Amino acid sequence: MARGKLIVLTGPSGVGKGTLMRMLLRRHPELYLSISVTTRTPRPGEIHGRDYYFVSRAEFDQMVANHQLLEWAEFAGNCYGTPRQPVEDQIRQGKWVVLEIELQGARQIFQSFPDALGIFILPPSMMELEHRLRHRASESEEAIVRRLERAKTEVGAANEFDIRVINDDLELALDQIEAVLFAPKEPLPETVAV
C-alpha cells in the first residue's frame, strides 16, 4: 500500500486558500480534505460538515481536553482545529490528506508531522489582500483590521514553508500547486510567482 501524505496549505485570511482548495478537490477527488472544527458562526452558504464542523466553545474546549485535535488555534476571536482521528485514519490507509489551516496550526502540525509538505499562499500585495477581505463583506470593520494586522505577521513567516505560491491568478496558482503535488520529478523553485 502506498504511504499516506500530509499536505498543509496556509496563508493569510482572504488570500484565496478556500477557493484554491475547492478547485484542487474538483480536479483531484482522490485527495482527502480534512474538515476543521470552528466556534465561529457560519458564513452565508456554509454547511455544517461540508465547510466546517460548527461547534460551541464548550464543545471545542472538550475536544482540546480530550486530545481529539491534531492542532488548534484561536484566531479573530474564534477557535479552529483539526480533528485527529479522520486524518490519522486516512494517512494509515495511504491517502493524501490536505489541511487548510492557519499559521499557528500549521506550526503545530509540523512539530507532529515533520514530513508534511507545507504550501504557503501569498497575496500579490497587502493592498490586494485588503480589497479581497473588504469585498467579501462578511465581517465587521474591526474583524477586517484584525485580519490585516495578522496577515502582515503571517506573510513574514512564509519562508517556513516548503513552497510559496503567489495567488494573483487562481488558475495559474492552482497549476503551480498541482505541479508541486503531482509532478515532483524535478526540483521546483521555493517561490512561484504567478
Q: Provide the β-strand partners of residue 62.
A: none
Say if residue 11 carries a ligand binding annotation: yes
> Phi and psi dihedrals of 152, rounded to 5?
-60, -45
Residue 17 is labelled as binding a ligand:
yes
Q: Is 105 annotated as a binding residue?
A: no
- Per DSSP, the three-state class of 33 is strand
What's the alpha-carbon Rg for the chain, to the nearest Å?
16
Is 14 annotated in a binding site? The answer is: yes
Nearest CA-CA partner of 132 in 7, 42, 4, 18: 18
Q: Report in angstroms the alpha-carbon separations of 79 from 158, 164, 173.
A: 22, 25, 28
Specify the amino acid at residue 67: H
- Bind-site residues for ATP: 11-18
